[in-house]
A = this chain, B = another copy of it.
């Protein structure tokens, strides 16, 4: 990639240069390691010292960021987006190398677009379809009847079980499992001559992953009992996340690492679930709700709700409760002192009235 002047990148992202816009930029780098010719990024105030010490030729900052004189910056109303856009310019995705590895095992009834790339030791089952320019890395497993759209990227050892469907531009990080059985068992206390047993409820639905979804390493999306588990268009899911059967994740949701969405939950549009949070089965979560890390949502949430805690309550209430918790021992001592005082008053009263 050849160098281009900073001003061109500012134009690309709709930002403004403060300083010399003609500086040639040939790459992006972190504040600590960036050198001449490199553009860096500063948004988290925690790293101000790194920003001030950085040898980067220019730094992307917010429109109102305080900047020492002599420092060239690219100011943007959305600096993270500006950084993403410019970094993508310097770091385009690996080019697709069309063709099927001779060491892939592809059922005769499967259809793989000639522009797709299928790596070694991939297996593709009967009737599966792989769209244009999609890339399947080594060890990917597509079950019977799976459909993969165009421009998808399936990293190594991804598994997509039978009849599940991926839209276009879907990215699955290594080890993702799409379409494992949902966790559904009916307990039969009587059994059939051998005591109680848990009887499997057939999980014969499927998973639909819509366009522009990305799912992180080793995350799991279970197939529906009947019908469809759906991950809505443009949603992004982090690593080690569990999505239960029959869940409907709306469009543009963000689900952070190790979160768990129980069966039959419906997330509206743009819902944000932070790390290790959980939503109980069958809950309906309104658009743009925000669920704090490690919290446990046990009921429906209204659109725009912001919750935290175990069980989850309004975010501010949880913060106040936790702060109050820290004063609880103080309160207990105050209470004891008051009891003593009141007892004395009562005693005095008694004496006074005799």
A181's nearest neighbour on chain B, judged by CB, is B173
Using an 8 Å CB-CB cutoff, how does the interface string of A35-47 with B read, 1 for contact, 0 for none? 0000000001010
Distance in Å: Cβ of A240 to nearest Cβ of chain B: 5
Q: Is the CB of A202 within 8 A of B88?
A: yes
A108 CB-CB contact with B under 8 Å: no
Task: Report whether A177 and B174 are in contact in the complex, using a CB–CB cutoff of 8 Å.
Answer: yes
| CB of A115 closer than 8 Å to a CB of B | no
> CB of A322 within 8 A of chain B?
yes
A63 in the interface, Cβ–Cβ < 8 Å?
Answer: no
Asked, given contacts A199-B84, A239-B183, whether A226 binds B30 with beta carbons under 8 Å apart, the answer is: yes
Say which residue of B28, B81, B157, B184 sits within 8 Å of A159 (CB atoms): B157
Chain B residues closer than 8 Å to A67, beta-carbon distance: none
Q: Does A33 contact B (CB under 8 A)?
A: yes
CA distance A260 to B293 in the complex (A): 11
CA distance A252 to B275 in the complex (A): 25
| A236→B185 contact, CB < 8 A | yes
Determine the distance from Cα of A173 to Cα of B220 in the docked complex, in whole angstroms. Answer: 10
Category for how many chain A residues contact B = 35 or more
Does the CB pair A84–B201 fall under 8 Å? yes
**Assembled-state Cα–Cα distance A187/B254 (Å):** 10
Q: Does A345 contact B (CB under 8 A)?
A: yes
A22 within 8 A of B: no
Note all chain B residues with C-beta closer than 8 A to A54.
Answer: none
Among B201, B227, B239, B244, contact of A220 (Cβ-Cβ < 8 Å): B239
Q: Is the CB of B85 within 8 A of A199?
A: yes
Q: Is the CB of B161 within 8 A of A139?
A: no
CB-CB under 8 A from A338, the residues of chain B are 335, 338-339, 342
Contact of B331 with A331 in the complex, beta carbons under 8 Å? yes
Note all chain B residues with C-beta closer than 8 A to A173. Answer: 177, 180-181
User: For the complex, is A72 an interface residue (Cβ under 8 Å from B)?
Assistant: no
A109 within 8 A of B: no
Say yes or no: B242 contacts A260, CB within 8 Å. no
Contact A188–B311 (Cβ < 8 Å): no
Q: Which residues of A (188-246) have their CB < 8 Å from a CB of B?
A: 188, 196-202, 204, 212, 214, 216-218, 220, 222, 226-227, 234, 236, 238-240, 242, 244
- Interface contact A202-B91, CB-CB below 8 Å: yes
* Contact A346 B341, beta carbon cutoff 8 Å: yes
Restricting to A43-70, which residues have a CB under 8 Å from any CB of B? 44, 46
A290 at the interface (CB under 8 A from B): no
Interchain residue pairs A-B with the least CB separation, the first 7: A180-B217, A81-B186, A123-B138, A141-B156, A324-B328, A105-B120, A91-B202
18 contacts between A and B (CB under 8 A): A88-B202, A139-B139, A155-B159, A173-B181, A175-B220, A180-B216, A185-B214, A185-B236, A198-B234, A198-B254, A200-B214, A217-B222, A218-B220, A240-B240, A276-B276, A325-B325, A335-B335, A352-B353
